[in-house]
Structure 1
Amino acid sequence: MTTSQEGLLAGTRRALLHRIAVAQAEGRAPSLVAAVVRDGRAVWHGARTSVEGHAPDENVQYRIGSITKTFTAVLVLRLRDEGLLGLDDPLEKHLPGTGAGEATVAELLSHTAGLAAESPSPWWERTPGSLRPELADVLGDQGAPCAAGRRYHYSNVGYTLLGALVEKLRGVPWEEAVRCEVIEPLGLERTGVRPGVPAAGGWAVHPWADVMLPEPAEDFGRMACAGQLWSTTGDLARFAAFLTHGDDRVIGVETLREMRTPSAPAGPGELAEGATYGLGLQIQQRDGRLLMGHSGSVPGFLASLTIGVADDVAAVVLANCTSGLMVSQVASDLVRIVADAEPRIPQPWRPLPEVDSAVLELVGPWYWGTSAFALRLTADGLVSLGPLSGGGRRSRFRPNGDGTWTGLEGYYAGELLKAVRRPDGSVDHLDLGSFVFTRQPYDEGAAVPGGVDPEGWRGIA
């Protein structure tokens, strides 16, 4: 992916540069590098430095910490898509003897398994992974601090188990699996478990003095799948484009939609207000915009990959300091700057190339009791059902190939929509999870549960 500085207006480019310059100066980061992706390609790259002697470019590696978890999640979902596991499978079914076998794959992916956040002492991010050669050393004898399936509780340990699951089912080390199945197909040539030249050094900046201390760069061993990877803004820009648009060589858009679906609300103080977690992706509302991606933090490095899906704008921010810089806020600001200054120009409207007459027969107004809804056929082959006005339950539905549709979001996610026909083939009503939608409010000619008063509608006697 090449970087096109001509992809944005001059005023937008200056606003982006100003934002990262302020962040690097006020956050006292030795260096900061950033990229913006729009419509699937990198359109801007910027960097600020005070230590390395020259500003880093999109090929300089930084450690990306927990963004590694998204790579691991992709590996697990590939296994699911191949039929080698189910998201509701308990870990014990595929990886026995861990002591956490009752946790499901989905709970581990979404940090709702109730497991401890960290491995037992010593501090795993600043000590060699050789101190924890086995899963038992990662888990220790610490109990689960939260009930499984009840709440979000971030767990590096949980993702270590997922890495071990990948190794068991693939028969190769996690490092080999992520390289062969994600890194190489997506062309992430500067992403790997160990740094190569050029790479930034990690620093701790003293909180009360403008002095620095080098941080160790440990190999995390078994916990590598939770935070080991090194990457660049160039590679993460490609990864952001993949997370937005999918790539059938890795996973497709339907699986990505699952990754972006919230799995459990965050507890007080755990994530920013309005934030939650999907299957390997953090999800939040900020400035009225739905954002998703992942942040990363290990001693010496901070990272953020943030995607505004509706705007098709993503931002990557990497810095080589332990703390002091809110990289996720900077990344979301970069998305906002581009989305607000240069709003996405929609594709031209085009009619459908073909349409099923049986589906076309169903579009238009329907009534759930006395509430007016509209069923629409959309250009992507889905149907949508939502209130004609105001708020209320709404969802898109994907076709199942048998005249039924399955809900994709909201109250109707996973629910079945079908047209119920009379013996003569005409449509009597729509059935949505047992709710009846009729062409007229409480249509007396339709099979409305409870029946319709034979005297019909009336005024005050």
Structure 2
Amino acid sequence: MTSSDSLPEPSPDLLPTTRRALLHRLAVAQSDGRVPSLVGAVTRDGRMVWSGARSCVDGHAPDAHTQYRIGSITKPFTAVAVMRLRDEGLLDLADPLEKHLPGTGVGEVTIAQLLSHTAGLAAETPGEWWERSSATLRPGLADVLGEPAQLHPAGRRHHYSNPGYALLGAVVEAHRGAAWADVVQREICVPLGMDRTSAQPQAPHAGAWAVHPWADVLLPEPAEDLGVMAPAGQLWSTAADLCRFAAFLADGDDRVLGAETVREMRTPAVAPEAADWDGGYGLGVQLARRDGRTLAGHTGSLPGFVAGLWVSVADGVAAVALSNSTSGVGPQVAADLVRIVAEAEPAIPKPWRPLTEVDPVLLELAGPWYWGTSVSALRLTADGGMEFGPLSGGGRRSRFRAERDGSWTGLDGYFAGETLRVVRQDGEVTHLDLGSFVFTRQPYDPAAPVPGGVDEGGWRGLP
């Protein structure tokens, strides 16, 4: 057996051909989209491995440390602050808003519904376009909720709501006794090393521009402070900082949120709209299917800026694209940067390694099990868990985690959250019970409690 220590580690740097393909995609986007500047970056396995930029001003291209406004990419930050409250036991996702923020008029909607945009609230605020007008027009929460504030029954459909995130930011402030921006800075940015992410712009930062749709001329866009709407879209950040945040969305960080909670945020919370089956939403995280892969992250826009952040957890690749134009470059650019790296340099699987300890009692469970005449296989894995599912083809396949009482809990798939129990009689295993399904070592084992019983005549040929 050869020690893996003697093998060279693959270089984290991208191949020259991949780097050129990334720069080409960025250059085409900036040119065809007619945007003043565009910066992109890619992270692989948690490390930024490429960044590039294009600009309409020769010699003045931005870099990965230039701030851009990121719009609704702010929402995952607000969601992380809320999930920290949940993990600390200060709230439950099923709690009605009224429990934590009385007097809003929509107190019956839950925290989870606000996070997932299923509370049925209006998409925008009443009155002037809030992204391009002074926050003094909306001094309080009552000023961001229209009449009626709720357009759809809570929990029935996904309806994106910016005011919903203003409410969530207020929940964070109520529990922390501090401004939303200060909480985000202290609890998220500082631990993750994001020292170029802030609620107000810090030099060097890009200016906000609109490009005329029918002429190559520019118009400056105002950069308004969003006031109580800040938790929906206030933040400024850089490509380098957002790469750090993307790595966090993939793997978690115990200083902020553990991996299990981040995985929960990436789990679809509700079915997408009928016309958008390639997209979805978790808890503060957008989900998308692009080029056969699942992406998690968020897009964002404010007058003068468009931003995109996408993570492919399966590929270990994430990308960011930031531009300073009201339109011209869509969120597809960041998704394309992920695709280029994932296809040109597919992830190299980690070496297979066996279990360090073998429990003979568990080892005895490995192998085929029958539900009726359908055969499934149970396999013990090196992480101390198990996989259970059809021996071939599709079907109900899940991973399981061992519990202290000897049972197993499903982690994903059809049996997520369900309990698998090993049933013994006189010390011998008779069957597995999985959500009332009886799995036996032989098809319709007469010695096991098969529901409905087993015909006494046994198996037979055609008369």
Specify if TM > 0.5: yes
SS of equivalent residue, structure 1 residue 66: helix
Map of 1:291 onto structure 2: 295
Residue 24 of structure 2 corresponds to 18
Matched-pair contact (CA < 8 Å) for 1:66–1:227: yes
CA distance, structure 1, for counterparts of residue 359 and residue 122 of structure 2: 52
Is 1:301 paired with 2:305? yes
Q: Give runs of aligned pairs for residues 190-269 of structure 1, distance below 5 A.
A: 190-269=196-275
Residue in 1 that maps onto 2:90: 84
**1: CA distance, partners of 2:119 / 2:412:** 23
Cα distance in 2 for partners of 1:412, 1:213 equals 55
Name the counterpart of 1:134.
140
Partner of 1:40: 46
Q: 1:434 aligns with which of 418, 433, 436?
A: 436
Residue 329 of structure 1 is matched in structure 2 by 332
- Offset of residue 174 of structure 1: 0.8
Instruction: Tell me which moved more, 403-412 or 148-157.
Output: 403-412
C-alpha distance after superposition, 1:343-372 (max 9, x if no partner): 111111111222444433322211122111
Secondary structure in 2 aligned to 1:184?
helix
Q: Quick check: 1:265–1:275 contact (8 Å CA) kept in 2?
A: no
Counterparts in 2 of 1:355 and 1:224: CA distance versus 1, 3 Å: farther
Cα distance change of structure 1 residues 251 and 357 upon mapping to structure 2, 3 Å threshold: farther
Task: Name which of structure 1's ranges 129-138 and 29-38 shifts more when overlaid on structure 2.
Answer: 129-138
Match of 1:317 in 2: 321
Structure 1 equivalent of residue 382 of structure 2: 379
Q: Distance in 2 between matches of 1:380 and 1:301?
A: 44
- Mean CA deviation greater in 240-249 or 353-362: 353-362
Structure 1 residue 122, shift from structure 2 partner: 1.2
CA distance in 1 between counterparts of 2:217 and 2:350 reads 51
> For residues 341 and 411 of structure 1, what CA distance do their matches in structure 2 show?
33
Gaps of 5+ in 2: 1-10
1:268: Cα distance to partner? 3.2
Return the alpha-carbon distance in structure 1 between the equivalents of residues 139 and 413 of structure 2.
Answer: 43
* Distance across 2 between alignment mates of 1:357 and 1:83: 39
8 A Cα contact 1:120 1:142, kept in partner: no
2:418 paired residue number: 415
Q: For structure 1, which segment, 18-27 or 279-288, has the greater mean C-alpha deviation from structure 2 after superposition?
A: 279-288
Q: Structure 1 CA distance, aligned partners of 2:171 and 2:376?
A: 45
Partner Cα separation in structure 2 for residue 342 and residue 416 of structure 1 = 39
Measured after TM superposition, the shift of residue 161 of structure 1 is 1.0
Q: What is the CA–CA distance in structure 2 between the aligned matches of 1:94 and 1:219, rounded to whole Å?
A: 26
Which one of 447, 450, 456 corresponds to residue 448 of structure 1?
450
What is the alpha-carbon distance in structure 1 between the residues aligned to residue 128 and residue 76 of structure 2?
25
Q: How much does 1:6 deviate?
A: 7.3
Q: Which residue of 2 aligns with 1:157?
A: 163
Shift of residue 140, structure 1, vs aligned partner: 3.0
State the 1:395 CA deviation. Answer: 1.4
Identity between Structure 1 and Structure 2 (%): 68
Distance in 2 (CA, whole Å) between partners of 1:401 and 1:85 is 27
> What RMSD over aligned residues (CA atoms) do the two structures have, in Å?
1.5
8 A contact 2:106–2:149 mirrored in 1: no
Cα deviation for residue 53 of structure 1 reads 5.0
Alignment: residue pair count: 453
1:348 matched to 2:351: yes
Does 1:390 find its partner at 2:420?
no
Cα distance in 1, alignment partners of residues 266 and 248 from structure 2 = 13
Q: Structure 2 CA distance, aligned partners of 1:245 and 1:143?
A: 36
2:221 partner letter: E
Q: Distance in 1 between matches of 2:149 and 2:168?
A: 18
CA distance in 2, matches of 1:317, 1:416: 43
- 1:191 and 1:154 mapped to 2: Cα distance? 25
Letter in 2 for 1:351: P
Q: 1:419 to 1:52 in 2, by over 3 A?
A: farther
Cα gap change, 1:6 to 1:373, in 2 (>3 Å): closer
Residue aligned with 1:20, SS: helix
Q: After superposition, give the CA deviation of every residue in 1:130-169 in whole Å (9 maximum; x if it has no partner).
A: 2212111111322411111111111111111111111111
Residues 110 and 358 from structure 1, CA distance in 2 versus in 1: closer, same or farther, beyond 3 angstroms? Answer: farther
Residue type matched to 1:325 in 2?
Answer: V
Q: Distance in 2 between matches of 1:77 and 1:355?
A: 37
Mapped to 2, the partners of 1:220 and 1:401 lie a distance apart of 49
2:134–2:226 Cα contact (<8 Å) kept: yes
Give the TM-score normalised by structure 2.
0.95
Q: 1:357 to 1:95 in 2, by over 3 A?
A: farther
Please give the secondary structure, in 1, of the residue aligned with 2:246. helix
Structure 1 residue runs without a partner (length 5+): none
TM-score (norm 1): 0.95
